[in-house]
Amino acid sequence: MLFSKETYVERRQRLCESVSNGLIVLFGNNESPMNYPANAYKYRQDSTFLYFFGEHRSGLAALLDAESGEVWLAGDEIDIDDIVWYGSVHSVKAMAEETGAKGCIDMATFEERVKQAAQAGRRVHFLPPYRHDTMLAITDLLGIHHSKQREAASLELIHAVVKLRSLKSEEEIVELEKASAIGYKMHTAAMRLCRPGVTEQYIGGVLEGIALAYGSHVSFQSIVSMHGEILHGYPSATPLEKGRLLLCDAGAETNENYCSDHTRTSPIGGKFSTRQREIHDIVADCHDLALSHARPGVRWWDVHYAVCRLMTDRLKELGLMKGDTEESVRAGAHALFLPHGLGHMMGMDVHDMEGLGQIHVGYDEETRPSSQFGINALRFARKLEVGHVVTDEPGIYFIPDLIDLWQREGINSEFLCFDKINEYRDFGGVRIEDDVLITPDGCRFLGEETIPYRALEVENYMAEHADASPFIL
């Protein structure tokens, strides 16, 4: 368990007070088979379960009586076969004591109690499930078909969890800093390896190895690609080619599953071309602009649009865009280059709490989502508060199929210089991403050391480490 018993007890008390009625059911994750039952993916506990109980064992669930405040940890004790193969672990009883629950119950009792509560007409709150075994459990317990479970999930519980998990405590920030420190090692290793002939896959493998060596896992499948314009471009076996850009978007989870998420775009061979540097500089300036705007009380939506305005102005200077900046931004013309949002919340999930529904995490009554292309992919938009952690990740991409579609259909043609844009068809894409903590007077990067991101810093770092072994980390 990462934090003190009191931390978990207090979190659960606040959850019960906030939900205030009925029975709350939380499911831990089970082992997830990869290609046969006994060959599982590396175990990953559910983040909300971890947040309220701090226990990593598979096969756990919990009952919280929102009215009485009583908490029961549910799970079956391991048997001698488990001990022979995996060694002894804490008993469920010991875990219940450690985490400050009233007691423990086995899974049969857990099922009985949930069914009894439902039959007695008590409200049973559960979160939207994302794993099929959890969906099966909900069907068995409450008779709700899997296709109806997301809508049947408790909004009161979702809002209560989001309220708590959105605000990172001092001790959580310490963990997030550790994740960023692993991210630093990963991204500087990628820069050292960014040489002609090395494959994307090799760099991806080294990144994953570092994440595993220093923490529990990568926080999402690493994006390592010369095709930076493919937003989720996973590494291929292609060797790097001199003169192109390598976009690397990757992060780590600490042993306690706090995440990092950084992106850097490096020139293969160590020097940006003029054209690459011009685009990279715009993205770096947009990245810095977000930092100068982000502070408590400001909506991330407005920071996103401030970035879009700057990007439009600068793309006009390069002859890629034209017309009135305000009108262009309102029409969403910049989304040809930036088809995603400026960032998302980050915590124990890299897209924090996304499984609970983005609208509940990133939006509220004051800030409503838009369906316009580009801004529809903004995962977080509402007012910033002290303790929020968000990613700042502007990018500029040249996506040939999107350019062709917009040109063919004349989309935003009054703001886009398609002749000039077509000269960049083989450019790829640039993204720069850091993780930002909102503080009382503004914001700051997470991580003791900032991974080089200004074009000159990147070039200097690559030159200084040109002959260094990537394995001396």
Residues 333-362 that bind Mn ion (CB under 5 A): none
Nearest distance in Å: CB 345, Mn ion: 10
CA 277 – CA 167 distance, rounded (Å): 37
**Which one among 172, 175, 200, 261 touches Mn ion, defined by CB under 5 A?**
261
Q: Which stretch binds Mn ion (CB under 5 A): 302-310, 312-320, 388-396, 448-456?
A: 388-396
Residues 174-233 that bind Mn ion (CB under 5 A): none
Element (H, E) at 81: helix 80-86
Q: Which stretch binds Mn ion (CB under 5 A): 192-200, 258-266, 312-320, 399-407?
A: 258-266
Q: Which stretch binds Mn ion (CB under 5 A): 182-190, 210-218, 238-246, 384-392?
A: 384-392
Q: Which stretch binds Mn ion (CB under 5 A): 31-39, 107-115, 193-201, 390-398?
A: 390-398
- Whole-angstrom CA distances from 239 to 236, 255, 398, 470 are 8, 32, 21, 17
Nearest distance in Å: CB 263, Mn ion: 7
Contact 268, 460 (CB under 8 A): no
Sequence-distant (≥ 6) Cβ neighbours of residue 185 within 8 angstroms: 210, 214, 473
Q: Closer CB to Mn ion, residue 225 or residue 412?
A: 225
Query: ∠49-104-112 over CA atoms, to 5°?
Result: 90
Q: Closer CB to Mn ion, residue 257 or residue 391?
A: 391
Nearest distance in Å: CB 343, Mn ion: 7
Nearest distance in Å: CB 261, Mn ion: 4
Q: Which stretch binds Mn ion (CB under 5 A): 98-106, 114-122, 260-268, 366-374?
A: 260-268
- Whole-angstrom CA distances from 315 to 289, 318, 325, 341, 345 are 16, 5, 10, 18, 28
CA 325 – CA 332 distance, rounded (Å): 10
Q: Closer CB to Mn ion, residue 101 or residue 451?
A: 451
459 touches Mn ion (CB under 5 A): no
Count, residues near Mn ion per rule CB under 5 A: 2
Give the residue from 449, 131, 397, 145 showing the smallest Cα distance to 279.
397
Nearest distance in Å: CB 262, Mn ion: 8
CA 370 – CA 377 distance, rounded (Å): 9
Nearest distance in Å: CB 378, Mn ion: 12
Q: Which stretch binds Mn ion (CB under 5 A): 67-75, 293-301, 376-384, 385-393?
A: 385-393
Nearest distance in Å: CB 350, Mn ion: 7
Q: Closer CB to Mn ion, residue 28 or residue 395?
A: 395
Q: Closer CB to Mn ion, residue 46 or residue 433?
A: 433
Element (H, E) at 172: helix 170-193
Nearest distance in Å: CB 194, Mn ion: 20
Nearest distance in Å: CB 390, Mn ion: 9
Q: Closer CB to Mn ion, residue 46 or residue 261?
A: 261
Give the pairing type, strands 23-27 and 124-125. parallel
What DSSP assignment string belongs to 364-396? -SSS----STTGGG----SB--TT-EEEE--EE
Interaction mask 94-133, Mn ion, x per CB under 5 A = ----------------------------------------
**Which one among 7, 216, 391, 412 touches Mn ion, defined by CB under 5 A?**
391
Q: Closer CB to Mn ion, residue 29 or residue 391?
A: 391
Nearest distance in Å: CB 288, Mn ion: 17
Side chain identity, residue 416:
L
Contact 339, 373 (CB under 8 A): yes
Side chain identity, residue 306:
A
Phi first, then psi, for residue 265 (nearest 5°) are -125, 120
Q: Closer CB to Mn ion, residue 229 or residue 261?
A: 261
Nearest distance in Å: CB 457, Mn ion: 21
Contact 452, 461 (CB under 8 A): yes
Nearest distance in Å: CB 227, Mn ion: 18
Q: Which stretch binds Mn ion (CB under 5 A): 259-267, 283-291, 323-331, 421-429?
A: 259-267
CA 320 – CA 375 distance, rounded (Å): 20
Alpha carbon of residue 399 to chain centroid: 24
Q: Is the CA virtual torsion 166, 284, 405, 400 positive or negative?
A: negative
Q: Which stretch binds Mn ion (CB under 5 A): 59-67, 108-116, 189-197, 255-263?
A: 255-263
As a three-state string, the secondary structure of 147-165 is: HHHHHHCCHHHHHHHHHHH
> Which tokens hold the place of 366?
């004051």
Q: Closer CB to Mn ion, residue 391 or residue 412?
A: 391
Q: Closer CB to Mn ion, residue 23 or residue 176?
A: 176
Give the residue from 391, 395, 388 showing the smallest Cα distance to 379.
391
Q: Where on the chain is the footprint of Mn ion (CB under 5 A)?
A: 261, 391
